[in-house]
Amino acid sequence: MREQYGNPVFGRVTQEYPVADTEYGKVAGENRNGIAVFRGIPYGGSCDGNNRFLPAREPKAWTGIRDCRKNGPIAVQEGGSITASWDFGNYFSGGNPEPFGCNQEIRGENCLVLNVLTPQPGEGKRPVIVYIHGGGFASGSGTTVLGADGLVREQDIVLVGINHRLNAFGFLYLGEIEKDFLESGTAGMTDLVLALKWVHKNIGFFGGDPENVIVMGESGGGIKIATLLAMPETASLIKGAVMESAFGKPGRYTTDMAADTTAHFLYQLEIKDNVIARLQELPDSHICGAAFSLGPFAFEPAADGIHLPFNAKDGFPMVNPQVPIIVGSSEDELAAFASEQEHKIQTEEEMIHAIVNGCGPGWMRLPETTPSKARELIRVFRSMDRKGDDNAHLLMKICTMCGPLEQAAFEHAVYCSAQNAGSVFRYLNAYDAPHRVIPEKRFSWHGADLPLQLRIVLHPESEAVSKRLAAFLGAFARTGDPSLPNLNWAPFSAACETMIIDDCCRIECDPTRPYREAMSL
């Protein structure tokens, strides 16, 4: 059957409303061209009221058949699912938002639900891909998988997307106030652990193999996966990981740092006494508003020593270093966030000014750089330019490739390869997709490759690279190696082998070395 991967031959569902078992009760989904789609299946119980900020519990069982044809709640947040957003939505939905169901979506604290897509419930032992959404630790949802029936149909996999608690609801550390809440700083991560345990126990009912579960995530989803890999509870739950365009090292955010954030949070709400009781009584909108006022990166998992150990070595700890990993980033990540003025830069002097003074959002900016170093960076990048990029495009590439996302991806590959030689695969996405709001301009912008991997394609010219990315993902899910019959993906080693993703994919040895050397001058 291997030669058929990539073709739409695996969807075999015939029932109008396919039904699957779970340990808690039966669920009914929809039939989308032979693929069974289940939405909003509970994997955890109530986490509002007196359960707010506490570790989640298993869901209650139900009788009869639960209707899982509409989206379940997404986490309380500012914003919502990316497929419904004004800027990213059209691209991430492939121009077809209806299958994602976001127009009916609600935000709520009892958001511990997941979505499952399968070629055939109750039959087979297919590899399982669990998608963990981006949006930092503040926003997002697992809704993106609801449009990925093409990936499931072509690669014969089972696909899962998870919703979990975010921002203060998932990561407000209250352990210094009351010992019953020592785990509150990792609640959002233990939600994900609970979901993975649900997958392990239940995915066989959906035609998946519980012993072959890989996790994948982009941006905030990538750092969540790095965090999961550092949590002892996941050692037997994850058989492979795909981490894309992410930065940040798990276990470096101490409980002292988290307590300081909590103090600022409580100041926003003017709470000085009876802290826990008052926090659990407040409307969720008040909690969300106070969290939002601190900024999108205020909250992250605390190294509580219970679920997440403190990371004393400042690397990327893994409780199971034998887990195969794909890790990488895109050349022009910054282009997704750059201002209209930055996209209109024309002269080299304007480029130098932007590099020295900071281009893009603060979390993506370069370390302090002098004008002379900026000129050298421009020279090096021009000498490496194969596509004739204009100055605005070249600026996006410089500020991306010398910035935190690419540095983190490279360091992650080096660190993990040292622990697990032969099972780390690095990529650099150089495929230029039409920009999310300026479609006449093309970049390998932050997140542009994610829908393509899931076979969600807005622009027809991206169809070929989408199929290749999905094939890499399918091969990795099946074997732990993303190599294809006609394209070997060499593991990352001292030669820094890197798969260049583009119209024509290829392996290069250490393609970013000239950039790193220029930055170190």
Other Cβ atoms within 10 Å of 518 Cβ, number: 18
Predicted confidence at residue 352, as pLDDT, reads 95
81 is catalytic: no
Predicted confidence at residue 1, as pLDDT, reads 44
Predicted confidence at residue 36, as pLDDT, reads 98
Predicted confidence at residue 313, as pLDDT, reads 87
Predicted confidence at residue 47, as pLDDT, reads 97
Report the candidate in 319, 328, 331, 373 with the shortest Cα–Cα distance to residue 351: 373
Q: What is the pLDDT along the chain (521 residues), one digit of tens a residue?
A: 445 899 999 999 999 999 999 999 999 999 999 999 999 999 999 999 999 999 999 999 999 999 999 999 999 999 899 999 999 999 999 999 999 999 889 999 999 999 999 999 998 999 999 999 999 999 999 999 999 999 999 999 999 999 999 999 999 999 999 999 999 999 999 999 999 999 999 999 999 999 999 999 999 999 999 999 999 999 999 999 999 999 899 999 999 999 999 999 999 999 999 999 999 999 999 999 999 999 999 999 999 999 999 999 888 999 999 999 999 999 999 999 998 889 999 999 999 999 998 888 887 888 888 999 999 999 999 999 999 999 999 999 999 999 888 999 999 999 999 987 679 999 999 999 999 888 899 999 999 999 999 999 999 999 999 999 999 999 999 999 999 999 999 999 999 999 999 999 999 999 999 999 998 87
Other Cβ atoms within 10 Å of 417 Cβ, number: 22
List 81, 141, 184, 219, catalytic entry: 219
Q: With left for phi above 0 and alpha for psi between -120 and 50, is residue 270 left, alpha or beta?
A: left
Tell me the CATH number for domain 327-520. Answer: 3.40.50.1820
Whole-number CA gyration radius for the chain: 22
In whole angstroms, what is the distance from residue 471 CA to residue 432 CA?
Answer: 19
In whole angstroms, what is the distance from residue 50 CA to residue 32 CA?
Answer: 39
User: Does the model's pTM come out above 0.85?
Assistant: yes
Contact 42, 113 (CB under 8 A): yes
Other Cβ atoms within 10 Å of 270 Cβ, number: 8
Predicted confidence at residue 3, as pLDDT, reads 58
Is CATH 3.40.50.1820 what the domain over 2-253+303-313 is classified as, yes or no? yes
Q: Residue 75 carries which DSSP code?
A: P
Predicted confidence at residue 215, as pLDDT, reads 98
- DSSP-assigned states of every residue in 259-321: HHHHHHHHHHHT--SSHHHHHHHS-HHHHHHHHHHT-TTS------SSSS---TTSS---S-T
Residue range(s) of every CATH 3.40.50.1820 domain in the chain: 2-253+303-313, 327-520
